[in-house]
Amino acid sequence: MSYYSQAIIGQLSILSKREAIEDLIADDRSSPELISKLSTILEIRAFAESELLLPVEGNYESYVDLERPFVVWNVFAAPELSMNPLNWCYPIAGCVSYRGYFTEADAQAYAAKLEDEGLDVYVGGVSAYSTLGWFSDPVLSTIINRDDYQLAALLFHELAHQLVYIPGDTEFNESFATAIEKEGLRRWLSANSIDETESSNIVELAELNTQRREEFVALVTGAVTDLEEIYAGDSDKFEKRRSKAEVFSTMQSDYAVLKNSWNGSDNFDAWMSRDLNNAQLSTVATYFNWVPSFEQILAENDHDLIGFYAKISALSKLDVSERTVLLSSKIN
């Protein structure tokens, strides 16, 4: 009950602080920077509704200044010698591998309790999330300073969750939302009369960031595979702990090489600077495996979103094994 109480209070606190974006734009006390960003948000919102046919409804027409770096902090946990993360099940979202808190102190307190039980634990901050249509989601101060194209991509992604969402199937949900994010960004850049060179540069940067993210995921996935083999082996727990430490050491070295190939990009430095453990690695899931499948389905429908959404809706009604077979068949 205490957990759900903090979740309810935290969500209601956000909702109670909402200010209409149009009022803030008209307010002389609003900074020019904030007015510019909020005006762009309204344009993105209108585009998402008219061009991407996403269920905008009352979402992103209000703003909340949270006065903190993250909206929630998620706690992840896994056994010391296992890569199977703990799962928590919720009425709407289904079963997921994290437990969210609206204050960092509460998250850290719960993490400490799990650590006392001998578990590997990781706490990570989250900048935005979707309430899946249960509330009208506001724009949060935690994301407002992003570049315009990043704001567009984020809003398209979160609104896609409100269109199709399968409780407990994170890989499907995130892959679908990412496919809509990419298609939406392509259309938004084209529709906003951004000159060809600038548009090309933005797309190139977005693709470069995606490529680096995939390379980082591959690095983590390789370490996870090594750890799973170690934990499944016949060695005693002391030898497994030693081997576990070696995997993390190797991962740090491999990351340094990878970062060098990125011309020193530090996107993942903060994540890698922590003491690595099973729980932390479990957060880097292959959420994007089905993106090529969704993009293929979109192409088969000549990029007609109505037909595409109908196909995805039908897919979402299948059981997970049937979905897996159909999505796998779309990957060349």
Spatial separation of the C-alpha atoms in residues 138 and 72, rounded to whole Å: 14
Q: For residue 60, is pLDDT > 90? A: yes
Confidence band, pLDDT 50/70/90 cuts, at residue 201: confident
Which of 85, 172, 173 is CA-nearest to residue 129? 173
Q: Which amino acid is at 52?
A: L
- Higher-confidence residue of 169 and 83: namely 83
High-pLDDT (> 70) share of the chain, %: 96
| Residue 120 host element (H or E) | strand 120-126
The region of weakest confidence among 77-91, 179-193, 197-211 is 197-211
Quote the pTM value. 0.84
* Average pLDDT estimate for 225-253: 97
Whether the Cβ atoms of residue 160 and residue 177 lie closer than 8 Å to each other: yes
Question: How confident is the model over 118-160, as pLDDT tens digits?
Answer: 999 999 999 998 888 889 999 999 999 999 989 999 999 999 9
Q: For residue 332, is pLDDT > 70? A: no
Helices and strands (H and E) in the chain: how many: 13, 8
Which pLDDT score, from 0 to 100, does residue 243 have?
A: 98
The region of weakest confidence among 9-23, 143-157, 286-300 is 286-300
Please give the structure tokens belonging to residue 115: 């650590």
Please give the backbone phi and psi of residue 27, each rounded to the nearest 5 degrees, phi first: -85, 125
Which pLDDT score, from 0 to 100, does residue 171 have?
A: 86
Place of tokens 């499948």: 293
Spatial separation of the C-alpha atoms in residues 161 and 91, rounded to whole Å: 16
Using CA of residue 174, residue 179, residue 184, residue 190, what is the dihedral sign? Answer: positive
Which of 303, 302, 299, 323 is CA-nearest to residue 312? 323
Please give the backbone phi and psi of residue 221, each rounded to the nearest 5 degrees, phi first: -60, -40
Which of 55, 256, 286 is CA-nearest to residue 158? 55
Which pLDDT score, from 0 to 100, does residue 65 have?
A: 96
Confidence band, pLDDT 50/70/90 cuts, at residue 263: confident
**DSSP H helical ranges for 100-167:** 104-116, 148-163
Gyration radius of the chain over CA positions? 21
Which pLDDT score, from 0 to 100, does residue 211 have?
A: 85
Which of 101, 39, 112 is CA-nearest to residue 70? 101
Mean pLDDT value across the chain: 92
14-20 long-range contacts, Cβ below 8 Å, gap at least 24?
Answer: 14/64, 14/66, 14/71, 14/138, 14/140, 15/135, 15/138, 17/64, 17/65, 17/66, 18/62, 18/63, 18/64, 18/136, 18/138, 19/62, 19/63, 19/64, 20/61, 20/62, 20/63
Whether the Cβ atoms of residue 40 and residue 151 lie closer than 8 Å to each other: yes
Spatial separation of the C-alpha atoms in residues 161 and 176, rounded to whole Å: 8
Which of 212, 215, 210, 245 is CA-nearest to residue 230? 245
Q: For residue 249, is pLDDT > 70? A: yes
The region of weakest confidence among 84-93, 183-192, 233-242, 317-326 is 84-93
* Average pLDDT estimate for 97-117: 95
